[in-house]
Amino acid sequence: MRKFATIPPSIWQTDLKKLRGDIEAITIHYYLTTCSLSTMIGIYHLPVVFLAYETGLDPEGASKGLRRVCEAGIASYDEGTEIVWVHQMAATQVAPRLSPKDNRVPSVAKQLAALPICPITLDFYRTYRDAYHFADQPSLDEFERGFQGASYTLRSKEKEKDKGQEQDLGQGEGQMGSGGKRDTYTHARENEDQEFPYDPAKSVEEGKAFLRRLGLPAKFTDQALQRLMRGSLFPCDIENWKNEARELA
């Protein structure tokens, strides 16, 4: 059990606006953030029956509220393993990023290693892999293998999808015109200051174009592009590189 927890005031202007008017969902949200089973990284085992008991809601109401929280994109829940992930909890309770020598790195890794490998825990691993230096933690070797396997499968599917899109574009080229070009890279988040990682780019060229639009100094392009393609590039990374460039100028 955590000895303390923090609920930032900004929560009312971000996550909870999607739940306004739904008392059950708001109750569930605060319970997920502060309950006795919760961890500082926001991913932990939580049976719905326990959720209902502690909130005083009936099982149907608890399930409905949890579903609404998940539909709002605030959390994810795996019914098979009964694991919940409150998406921004690690960023607010720990930090958006940690230095490799921070004592919290092995602590976070230990908490994650205690959980079974499933889609939710792998998503958490992918999201914080670089920010929390998970790849350097021996306790997470199985997660790293699972991540690499998932990445290989995803890349294969993306190649097939890109090939199909190229064929579709070739067939519809006359309708678009010789100079027509769509900008389909709409991965920027609504609230980048909440430290969500940017969505992975669909191609290297789109990734480079996006980084240029962010004003990233050219010397950091390769490093930033690698993180972007893995889905682990944060807005704070861009700002840090900009500040570093200004200091060296």
For 131-164, write each residue's pLDDT tens digit: 999 999 999 999 999 888 765 444 444 555 555 5
- What one-character DSSP code corresponds to residue 177? -
Confidence tier at 20 by pLDDT (50, 70, 90): confident
Give per-residue burial for 124-135: e unless 16+ CB within 10 Å, then b: bbbbbbbbbbbe
The C-alpha atoms of residue 62 and residue 53 are separated, in whole angstroms, by: 9
**Which residue has better confidence, 120 or 244?**
120
Write down the pLDDT at residue 150.
65
- What one-character DSSP code corresponds to residue 106? H
Write down the pLDDT at residue 18.
84
Write down the pLDDT at residue 164.
56
As a whole number, mean pLDDT of residues 55-62 equals 93
Which residues partner with 86 through β-bridges?
75
Confidence tier at 190 by pLDDT (50, 70, 90): very low
> What is the number of residues in the chain?
249
Write down the pLDDT at residue 247.
79
At residue 193, the 3 state secondary structure works out as: helix
Write down the pLDDT at residue 144.
92
Write down the pLDDT at residue 102.
93
The C-alpha atoms of residue 227 and residue 238 are separated, in whole angstroms, by: 11
With a CB cutoff of 8 Å and minimum separation 6, the contacts of 92 are: 6, 8
Q: Is the pTM of this model over 0.75?
A: no
Q: Where are the domains of the chain?
A: 9-145, 197-248
Write down the pLDDT at residue 182.
36
Confidence tier at 233 by pLDDT (50, 70, 90): confident
